[in-house]
Structure 1
Amino acid sequence: TFPPVAVLPLAVPAVGFGEKPTLIALFLYGLLPIFENALTGLTTLPANVVEAARGAGMTGWQRLTKVELPLSAPIILGGIRLSVVISLATATIGSTVAAKTLGEVIIAGLLSNNLAFILQGGLIVAALAVLIYDGLSAIERYTARRMGREAE
């Protein structure tokens, strides 16, 4: 994974200040949980299901799109959920390179030694993270029920 704090100083000279380096850093940071969960979901499928699809004459592409990805969807969604929540919480550091994020309030509080600003920014980010986590968890559970697999 690529830590955003390490990517931001490298991205700013290439794309300038603002949202672009922040988005690059968050994109690179969010790849690992999605990739790991996709790999886990696809490699832990029941062998008899994959073999039945093969025995039914499905090509590799058909097995992937009609059997393996749908059965892996809840686990892949878990990686997306984790990546989104981590990125939301980490996006506040984008304010250090002039991106318009909730980190502006936190940084203003730190610079002026204003605890109210720090708490305001931190609590809003925390509340958003919890709401998004719960919403994506509900989607993940729904998908798991529809695919006949329990959420892991």
Structure 2
Amino acid sequence: MKLRFPTILRLLVFALLIVFLIRPEWFASVFRPLTENNAPAIYNQGSLLTLTLLHLRTVAIATAGATVVAIALAILVTRPIGAEFLPLSRSLVNIGQTFPPVAVLALAVPAVGFGEKPTLIALFLYGLLPIFENSLTGLTTLPPTVTDAARGVGMTGWQRLIKVELPLAMPIILAGIRLSVVINLATATIGSTVAAKTLGEVIIAGLQSNNLAFVLQGGLIVGILAVMIYDGMSAIEKFIAKRTGLVQQT
């Protein structure tokens, strides 16, 4: 299989990111021009690799919770028994978009304390809407011929959901999850304001010490991770779409 130049470039950038996280001191000369008064060129108040892994863990946990709740709500409101709950469900998933994450953090800290928990709550609420709306779209725009055929062969409602509806809707659902992950990767940085261990620590440390090198390091890591995860999940969506016959094989 021949790799295209954009793919090679992405792999190179990802490899450089891994090397930077493991051996950041090797890149000190690159960031030194951004420092003043002999300030450290590489973030030295913790491990960049550890902060990156903790950042990803926080996003993964919040997104997993939002995915389960959002898909469950979408399934409920697309069944005859739950159709009347659609307006209420939309109102619930819009809460995260109505209240800024900073406001959610401020409200959550008195209830659950400082640390990762308020950040998880904020990211969970913020990630619900895109997953719910995409799941709803995927489950309500299925080809009628397919669902009619499933009924014709005697499938129960549960069997149609598991074997037909969810597999066919999965590419659209994954697009919502991808959007939620990318949004939360950036949003998670504010968790450091309430003592959560995220890459926001690096950015905040840079702002407090007027060290542009720290700010750039935190921002670059988050940005590259967002692009890599976006591309990776897009590839998975295309693969599943091909497997389900939603797009032509190339």
TM-score (ref. length: structure 2): 0.59
Measure how far apart 1:61 and its partner are. 0.9
CA distance in 1, matches of 2:247, 2:107: 41
How far is the alpha carbon of 1:115 from its aligned partner?
1.2
- The residue that corresponds to 2:122 in the other structure is 25
Select the residue among 148, 151, 159 that pairs with 1:54: 151
State the partner residue of 1:146. Answer: 243
Shift of 1:120: 1.0
Q: CA deviation at 1:20?
A: 0.6
- Deviation, structure 1 residue 56: 1.4
Q: Which runs of 4+ in 1 moved over 3 A?
A: none
Structure 1 residue 84: deviation in Å?
0.8
Gaps in structure 1 of 5+ consecutive residues: none
Residue in structure 2 matched with residue 110 of structure 1 by the alignment: 207
Q: What amino acid is the match of 2:189? A: T
Equivalent residue runs for 1:2-151 within 5 Å:
2=96, 3-150=100-247
User: Secondary structure of the equivalent of 2:230?
Assistant: helix
Matching residue's letter, 2:203:
I
Identity of aligned residues (%): 81
- What per-residue deviation string (whole Å, max 9, x for no partner) do you get for residues 79-138 of structure 1? 111111111111000000000100001111111221111111101100111111111111
* 1:20-64 C-alpha deviation (Å, 9 max, x unpaired): 100111011111111011000001101111111112111111111
C-alpha separation in 1, matches of 2:137 and 2:247: 14
- Counterpart code for 2:124: F
Structure 2 residue runs of 5 or longer lacking an equivalent are: 1-93
| Rg larger for | 2
Whole-angstrom CA distance in 1 between matches of 2:221 and 2:151: 49
Output the TM-score relative to the length of structure 1: 0.95
For residue 58 of structure 1, give the secondary structure of its aligned residue in structure 2. Answer: coil
Residues of 1 paired with 2:117 and 2:232: CA distance?
27
| Equivalent position amino acid for 2:168 in 1 | L
CA–CA separation in structure 2 for the residues paired with 1:8 and 1:57: 49
Q: Which amino acid aligns with 2:229?
A: I
